[in-house]
Amino acid sequence: MTPIPASARPRQVDGLVNLSLAEVEALTRQVLVHHQLAPTHSDALTDIIVAAERDECASHGVYRLAGLVRTMNSGKVNLSATPHVRTDETSIVRVDADGGFSPLAFNMGAPELAKKAHRHGIAAMAINRCVHFTALWPEVEALADQGIVSLAMTPSHSWVAPAGGKRPLFGTNPFAFGWPRLHGNPYVFDFATSMVARGEVELHRQNGKPIPPGWALDPDGNPTTDASLAMAGALLTFGGHKGSALSTMIELLAGPLIGDLTSAESADFDGGAKAAPYHGELIIALSPDVFLGEAKSEYLQRAETLLADIVSQGARLPSQRRFEARERTVSDGVWLTRIQYDIIKTLI
Ligand code: NDP
Ligand code: PYC
């Protein structure tokens, strides 16, 4: 889309509003501070929401603010939580988020995780008792920036039916992977194990659009393309029984294994408040330096050959769209729907 010159503001075209990243940042922080979120958390949340808008990830950008305000007003999140990082001689880092939002807990624990991965070759971080609403790619990217390969996963609320079932049980359970490359941006994927993030379904509902067939069931267990019925019913896992098994794995690893809630238990805790999910997150970090020692550059070069062979077929790498958006939005700003912009204005 052609950027609107600053002189032509108010920058509104065909139901869309253009904001610079600085304006997105100011607006986001204003909403969070207005609803009494402590400055440390407001900063961490603002960073992650602006990063989502910068990378054109609408389902985890400013659209989340309305749900965050609902969460903050529900009493289901500790607005001034102080995350506590615990380490011992093992390769596990534990961060008690103290009932607060997850981004600050991640930021505080990540340096310890990186240190342990560099020391032991493999390390894991369990974030417990956090309210979670973010995409996971900022976390695996941050670790890749330190030369670390990582996997991140978390449950959510029970919104997704297991393959062959009709009732919601799993969360939308995202799974992210980051691989540092010899040059430039890391290889990163990050997806829900449902057909799509629930935020995407909500955006379809908000914009009055049907969802594609195959995404969801209505409350009676019948296939639906109605986004409202899908939200009242159940999303489907991607890849049928394969996504269902991956989603189960995430429930187990980022739930019982780390001493935290499953998506069904998170929904019980919510008790109809419609707040963001409350549970844990697991991040596994691996150091190519320790795995490979002096052979590291040879094998990372071979990894580059693999990635180049994907692109040379005309396929694209995951995150390529995001990295391209990142280049563009820094100068062109981001486009919000007028509906979205008006909703945010009501939150201040
Ligand atoms: P998508 O299905 O849009 O995409 C997921 C991944 O696939 C991205 O890495 C994307 O890269 C990549 N991708 C998409 N199309 C292609 C293609 N044609 N070729 C190669 N790669 C491709 O995302 P989802 O709706 O599944 O998830 C969106 C976000 O929601 C995620 O960031 C996830 O973390 C978040 N989420 C968070 C939850 C939580 O509980 N905190 C729950 C569920 C989801 P690109 O971005 O470049 O398009
Ligand atoms: O979009 O499915 C989702 C989601 C759940 C929690 C955060 N995002």
Same domain, 38 and 139: no
Q: What is the CATH number of the domain that holds 10?
A: 1.10.1530.10
Question: In terms of residue numbers, what domain contains 30?
Answer: 6-74+333-345
Distance of CA 59 from the midpoint of ligand 2 (Å): 8
State mean pLDDT over 336-341: 94
Work out the mean pLDDT of the chain and round it to a whole number. Answer: 96
Give the residue numbers marked as catalytic. 59-60, 200
Same domain, 103 and 162: yes
Tokens in use for 15? 């139901």
Percent of the chain with pLDDT over 90: 96
Q: What is the CATH number of the domain that holds 89?
A: 3.30.1370.60
Query: For the segment 278-331, what is each residue's pLDDT rounded down to a tens digit?
Result: 999 999 999 999 999 999 999 999 999 999 999 999 999 999 999 999 999 999
Whether residue 231 lies inside any domain: the answer is no
Among 63, 65, 156, 170, name the best residue to mutate to test ligand 2's pocket (greatest count of ligand atoms within 8 A of Cβ): 156
Order of strands, sheet of 216-217, starting from the edge strand that comes earlier in the sequence: 160-161, 234-236, 216-217, 223-224
> Are 3 and 331 a contacting pair, CB within 8 Å?
yes
Query: For the segment 5-32, what is each residue's pLDDT rounded down to a tens digit?
Result: 555 554 888 899 999 999 999 999 999 9
State mean pLDDT over 78-91: 98
Count of structural domains within the chain = 2
**pLDDT for the residue numbered 11:** 82
Buried b (16+ CB within 10 A) or exposed e, 269-305: ebeeeebbbbbbbbbbbbbbeeeeeeeeeeebeebee
Q: Does residue 3 register a pLDDT over 90? A: no
Q: Is the CB of 87 under 6 A from ligand 1?
A: no
**pLDDT for the residue numbered 58:** 96
Distance of CA 195 from the midpoint of ligand 1 (Å): 10
Same domain, 61 and 99: no
* This prediction's pTM: 0.96
Q: Does residue 1 register a pLDDT over 90? A: no
Among 251, 96, 86, residue whose Cα is nearest residue 160: 251
The half-sphere exposure of 47 on its side-chain side, counting CA atoms within 13 A, is: 14
Q: Is the CB of 136 under 6 A from ligand 1?
A: yes
Residue with tokens 């997105």: 24
Q: Is the CB of 63 under 6 A from ligand 2?
A: no
Torsions phi, psi for 160 (to 5 deg): -125, 135
Same domain, 43 and 102: no
Q: Is the CB of 322 under 6 A from ligand 1?
A: yes
Same domain, 55 and 109: no
